[in-house]
A and B are shown apart, each in its own frame.
Chain A
Amino acid sequence: MSEAWHHFIAGDLVALLSCTLAVVTCGVLGSYLVLKRESLMGDAISHAVLPGLVVAFMISQSRAPVPMFIGAGIAAGLTVLLTMLVRRWGGVEPGAAMGVVFSVMFALGVYLIESEALRDIDLDASCVLYGQVEYLVWWDAPKDPSAYLKLATYTDTDIPPALWALGAIFVIAVAFVAAFFKELRITTFDPQMARAAGIPAWLVQGALVLLVALAVVASFQAIGSILVIAMLICPAATARMLTDRLGTQIMLAGLVAGLCAIAGYFAGAKLPTALGAEHALNIAGMITVVAGLVFGLVCFASPSHGFIARAVRQRRLAERIAIEDLLGLLYRSAEAGETFVPIQPMHAAGMPVARATKLGLVRAEASKLGLTDSGRERAEGLIRRHRLWEGYLVERAGLRPDHVHATAELLEHVDQPAAIPTQSGDLDPHGKAIPPGPETDAESP
């Protein structure tokens, strides 16, 4: 094996894998939190469990996962209890109650971290915030490629235990989501319906929260709490901007999270030195930045829900409505006997004369404007919808004939056949003829 590969495996592989596992787990679980509008759950949990982690660390004097999980569990339980106490007995509204309890718990954790007992130990407040990805090294990774095929290599060498913990959480989370996909979906979108269908919503959602908490705690020392919070929200939010399907969203979120982790890792650990800087940058921070950039990009460029796509759609719609209004005007004046209308006032009113001419819907003749054949055809459809709506509003909705024009003016632009009222006569409430629709002859008995 080449020196570079060995260097990568020993120095980067475990860190990269840990980040990716943690981040993909968060991305998958976060999808549900974003949909339930509980995105800040990760934030809350990571604040609240801090004192538990610190006390566990003080007692066990190690970063072994089991005491950490126990400490975090106790702290989480205490937080839930205190929040309930403050809400029920204190009568404080839920948001404020959570804010008070979580910030006090966090302050307690920060205070304990900086206390004397921990001064000499390698746990400090900043490592809790942005993790110590850089310390996840496989220092005794074997140089011989064939050693990687033997199981003993993985059991006997010093692989950081965080990797195993994160791997386990990842497997559990993915298995849980895959196995209970249906239950999770119904309890997320419609808990009442779930209860009616006999699915214990509290159990399913409780398990989800428990998994989020496990992921938060497991990820703590590897990637830090800020990255956990970011990864519970950003990939899921990114996916939400891209799709409306839950399954697609979860897979997309996992994929986005994984790509962000890999890109962020290299951008933080390798890019600065490759560019000639002396030091690498904080990896957890960099992954967060990449996730933020990806989210920002998708906000603009998503084909379905992005700013750009929406702006384009809105402009197209505005243009179509403006052209249709122009056609309607020309049609009505033709009905009144004036087939050609002076262009100048229409220009002045900002009507899309040039665009309509280009589309072959209108033509100019000696500074006057009239409909072409295709223009008249579209105008007929438009006026037909307008007058059908007026008829509908008067006959069915009981409005007075002089109150219906404005509403019909809006509804006439909706051209899906299913959304057009059926015809009940040849005249609209104002006594004007309803132009025949293309399908009228075929349909009428």
Chain B
Amino acid sequence: MNADTTSLLGILQKTIVELPKLFTGQASNTTVVVVASGLFGVAAGLVGVFALLRKRSLTADAIGHATLPGVAGAFIVGTMLGVPVREGPWLLVGAALAGALGAWMIQLIAHRTRLREDAAIGIVLSVFFGVGVVLLGVVQNMESGTQGGLATFIFGHTASMLAADARAMGFIALFVLIVTFVLRKQLTLVCFNDTYARATGWPVQIVDLLLLGLIIVVSVAGLRAVGLLLVVAMITIPPAAARFWSDHLGRIVAISAVIGGVSGSIGTAMSALAPGRPAGAVIVLTAGSLFALSMLCAPRRGIIAGAVGRVRSRVRILTDHTIETLWEHSEEGTSPNIGPVRNLPHGIKGRLVFLLLRVRGYVRSIGDAYMLTPAGLAEGARLNRNHRLWSAYLTTHADIAPSHVDWSVDQVEHVLSDELVQKLERIVELEDAGA
């Protein structure tokens, strides 16, 4: 099957078709890179959720920057020792060591001096990167003008990635996936309640160190694809986007992994179309688009859902208010025709409200005036009773008022106990008797 490799869909199609060939080693370079980037995205999305919960996003940024001197230093040392630096894990090991050193220095500065974590992160981030830039210059001089391909580590470059590098990235990502899966319980506990974790005897510091280690490994895995400046974005954006879709940690982790994986693979496929473009930027922009999409469209927490919810609640308040006003003017189960009364919505808004109420069968109109139907009268009675019970509750039990109650929507019975409702009803009856 000959897929078109000049379009995004073509590349993705080809990738899917060639998936089985990955195991036999016959897949094309592009396929290997796309799949490996996808795996990296999944790993970053997974680790990112815990990094975000544990407030390690900025530390991750510093770790990303701190890998540069590791890469350049490993290149210089390796070349001096005669190691084939461009193949194998040599450069990535250097990157990981430098990243770990950076993370350790952040802890040292933040805990052992009077400076705070923000300054520690800034210092490590910029000074390590500065050292890296100087070492890059040394590499450039050694290699007489080229940077030994090291510049691709800064901005990421998937087009020139070798299948071997991509495989390495894929395997590291798989490793991170497995470790995160095994440690999910400990990570969750430490992220949500470290005091409790400590009190129940979990080694919080070790779990913290493991999380930091995972962040370092993920950053190093993504160096060639996303680049060390933007690798933090792959740890931050997918979990932040996933947060819109659910409140449940397991689901957030899964969604974050999917968003990371999709950004990684689609971004890589897109940059395969334009090899000159920096792959890291394309991958991050893909992730950014998914974030924007999530923020707009997610059910419940999304902006659109939020706006719809707000409009609906305003409409409901208006219609409820209208029914209650009409009901208050009615007597003994019959509703008079009510002309333009004060307190009733009027103008275009009023017409829309009454249209809605007519459609729902609560209101009938006769000429310019309106009257409640029997269904409207029943609804009015329910609203009035509910309203008064809540008022009674607020005046007598305000100190134990549950915080997340929408007073006009939630039926008292749904929130309060039967016993309490009966008590409130007695209060309301007393009020009526008094009046």
Which A residues are closer than 8 A to B by beta carbons? 34, 37-40, 42-43, 86, 89-92, 95-97, 99-100, 103-104, 106-108, 110-111, 114-116, 119, 125-126, 129-130, 226-227, 229-230, 232-234, 236-237, 240-241, 268, 277-282, 284-289, 291-292, 295, 299, 305, 307
Contact = CB atoms under 8 A, between A and B. Distances in A.
Nearest to A230: B126
B362 to A, nearest CB: 33
A278 B141 contact: yes
B137 A96 contact: no
A295 B127 contact: yes
B312 to A, nearest CB: 17
A24 B342 CA distance: 68
Nearest to A34: B119
19 contacts: A34-B115, A39-B122, A90-B301, A95-B57, A99-B232, A100-B237, A104-B284, A104-B287, A110-B229, A229-B125, A237-B119, A278-B141, A286-B130, A288-B129, A289-B130, A291-B127, A292-B123, A292-B130, A295-B127
Interface in B132-167: 132-134, 136-138, 140-141, 151, 154-155
B54 to A, nearest CB: 12
A9 B295 CA distance: 55
A125 B113 contact: no
Contact of A126 (B126, B138, B151, B244): B151
Contacts of A236: 119
A284 B243 contact: no
B133 A106 contact: no
Interface string B235-247: 0110110011000
Closest 9 CB pairs of A and B: A288-B130, A292-B127, A285-B133, A230-B126, A103-B233, A104-B288, A107-B284, A111-B281, A233-B122
Contacts of B239: 96
A278 B137 CA distance: 11
Interface of B is mostly: helix
Contacts, number: 193
Nearest to B58: A40
Contacts of B121: 39-40
A37 B121 CA distance: 11
A288 B285 CA distance: 30
Interface stretch (B272-280, B346-354, B378-386): B272-280
A295 to B, nearest CB: 6
Given A111-B282, A230-B126, A291-B127, 12 more contacts: A43-B61, A95-B57, A99-B240, A106-B229, A119-B276, A129-B133, A233-B122, A237-B123, A277-B141, A285-B130, A285-B137, A305-B113
B414 interface: no
A111 B281 CA distance: 6
Contacts of A38: 118
A34 B119 CA distance: 6
A92 B243 contact: yes
B316 to A, nearest CB: 22
Interface string B95-130: 000000000000001001111101101110111011
A20 B141 CA distance: 26
A288 B126 contact: yes
B127 A288 contact: yes
Contacts of A281: 134, 137-138
A156 B123 CA distance: 41
Nearest to B105: A296
A108 B286 CA distance: 11
A241 B113 contact: yes
B306 interface: yes
A299 B110 CA distance: 12
Given A106-B229, A277-B141, A91 B301 contact: yes
A37 B58 CA distance: 13
A295 B123 contact: yes
A146 to B, nearest CB: 39
Contacts of A285: 130-134, 136-137
A226 B129 contact: yes
Contacts of A96: 52, 57, 236, 239-240
Contacts of A106: 229-230, 233
A226 B58 contact: no
A99 B130 contact: no
Contacts of A278: 141
A295 B115 CA distance: 12
Given A130-B133, A226-B133, A241-B115, A100 B280 contact: no
B112 A307 contact: yes
Contacts of B140: 279
Given A114-B276, A126-B154, A279-B141, A100 B131 contact: no
A42 B137 CA distance: 25
A100 B276 contact: no
Nearest to B140: A279
A279 B243 contact: no
B427 interface: no
A282 B133 contact: yes
Given A104-B291, A111-B281, A232 B133 contact: no
Contacts of A37: 116, 118-119
Nearest to A113: B278
A119 B274 CA distance: 13
Question: Which of B55, B121, B284, B287 is packed against the most chain A CB atoms within 10 Å?
Answer: B284
B127 A107 contact: no
B277 A111 contact: yes
Contact of A230 (B114, B127, B295): B127
A103 B61 CA distance: 10
Contacts of B115: 34, 237, 240-241
A42 B121 CA distance: 12
B303 interface: yes
A97 B122 CA distance: 19
A234 B123 CA distance: 6
B119 A104 contact: no
A241 B295 CA distance: 43
Contacts of B112: 307
Question: Which of A89, A96, A97, A103 is packed against the most chain B CB atoms within 10 Å?
Answer: A103
B328 to A, nearest CB: 37
Nearest to B298: A90
A233 B233 CA distance: 22
A114 B134 contact: no
A96 B61 CA distance: 12
A135 to B, nearest CB: 15
Contact of A89 (B134, B229, B303): B303
Given A39-B118, A100-B237, A281-B138, A108 B130 contact: no
A288 B114 contact: no
Contacts of B233: 99-100, 103-104, 106-107
Given A95-B57, A96-B52, A279-B137, A107 B285 contact: yes
Nearest to A290: B130
Interface string B382-423: 000000000000000000000000000000000000000000
Interface in B318-351: none
Interface in B258-284: 276-278, 280-282, 284
Contacts of B285: 104, 107-108, 111
B126 A110 contact: no
Contacts of B133: 129-130, 226, 282, 284-285, 288
